[in-house]
Amino acid sequence: MKWLLVLAMWSTSVAHAQVNIEKLRSVDLEDGLSGSVGLSTALSTGNVQFADFTGTAHMEFKKDKDLLFWIMNGRFAAKRTQSDLLEEPSISLWDEEAHFSNLMLQHIRYNRAINDKFWWELYAQYEYNEFLLLDRRVLGGSGPRLALLDAPKGGMWAGTSAMLESERLNPEGIAPSQSAEYIDVRWSTYITGTLTPSDTTTWVTTIYIQPRIQDFADYRFSAETGLNLKVNKKLSFSLDAKLRHDETPPVTPDGSAEVLTTDMRVSNGLKVSW
């Protein structure tokens, strides 16, 4: 049984809608409960008022051929400089106008092993993201997962599923021509590879694509690669990069900042395990 605690994390940009469960999925997991939990905070006053709270959690339970795991990511961050306070003194650090990140995502997934190379997956997810104008997204799906390559130094797996998605956008932030509520069916497919050149080094790369069944030109794409280096048996260092693309982001009113189609994030951190 293995537990991971995130001690430190530095990241840029926003969190992405497609959660990468593959970098958290354990290999050769023993029966029982395992997981991770992390919390990072940063507070400052003076010339810059700044608050940043990030929480992560991950739990897995395995028994024989059945695996159930849950993932949660959340972040709140806000900033006010002296220039901001001079221009708008009535806006405090905790007011909505000072936020630059406010999001939460929860994902639960069940795997049933059919044999050594074939699994069936069932999953559900809930999320909101203030800066993608997303008040709520609820989805669920099911499909197969296949082992494409299983070698001593690494492996490759792929999964595909039908996914039903219900989405509500912030009606105050979108253009009048944009609908606030959607129910869509998407085809969600991923491929992931793991390379372990040594006992202290692991490299995981995952690609997701999720076109809308009614219109394949409306798709979401996510690619993430991460390197994990063990300093010793308990301490490791991670470096991750992620690209997210939404071909049809929410449309904003004229004169308002648009929601960009593409985001990129780079992060690194320290972990201790026991």
Amino acid, res. 235: L
Given phi > 0 = left and psi -120 to 50 = alpha, else beta, which region is 64?
Answer: left
What is the DSSP code string of 32-61?
A: EEEEEEEEEEEEE-SSEEEEEEEEEEEEEE
Question: What tokens does 169 get?
Answer: 């956008």
Question: What tokens does 144 get?
Answer: 């197969």
Question: What tokens does 173 get?
Answer: 């932030």
Spatial contact of 154 and 135, defined as CB atoms under 8 Å apart: no
Give pLDDT tens digits for 211-236: 999 999 999 999 999 898 988 877 77
Range 211-220 burial, b when 16+ CB lie within 10 A, else e? bbeeeeeebb
Domains identified in the chain and CATH numbers? 3-273 (2.40.160.40)
Amino acid, res. 227: L
Question: What tokens does 113 get?
Answer: 């092993």
CA distance 201 to 267: 17
Spatial contact of 191 and 207, defined as CB atoms under 8 Å apart: yes
Strands 32-44 and 3-11: parallel
CA distance to 123, 127, 138, 182, 218, per residue, from 213 (Å): 19, 21, 17, 13, 9
Output the pLDDT for position 179. Answer: 93
Cα dihedral 174, 178, 180, 183, rounded to 10, equals: -140
Cα angle 149, 117, 35; round to 5: 90
Give pLDDT tens digits for 136-176: 999 999 999 999 998 888 999 999 999 999 999 999 999 99
In sequence order, the 6+-apart residues with CB closer than 8 A to the CB of 78 are 50, 51, 52, 93, 94, 98, 99, 100
SS3 content of the chain, % helix, strand, coil (to 5): 5, 70, 25
Output the pLDDT for position 7. Answer: 31
Amino acid, res. 70: W
Spatial contact of 93 and 78, defined as CB atoms under 8 Å apart: yes
pLDDT tens for the chain, 274 residues long, are 333 333 333 333 333 444 556 655 655 567 888 877 777 778 888 888 998 888 878 888 999 999 998 998 888 889 999 888 888 999 989 898 888 878 899 999 999 999 989 999 999 999 999 888 999 999 999 999 999 998 888 999 999 999 999 999 999 999 999 999 999 999 999 999 999 999 899 999 999 999 999 999 999 999 999 898 988 877 778 888 889 999 999 999 998 888 999 998 787 766 655 5
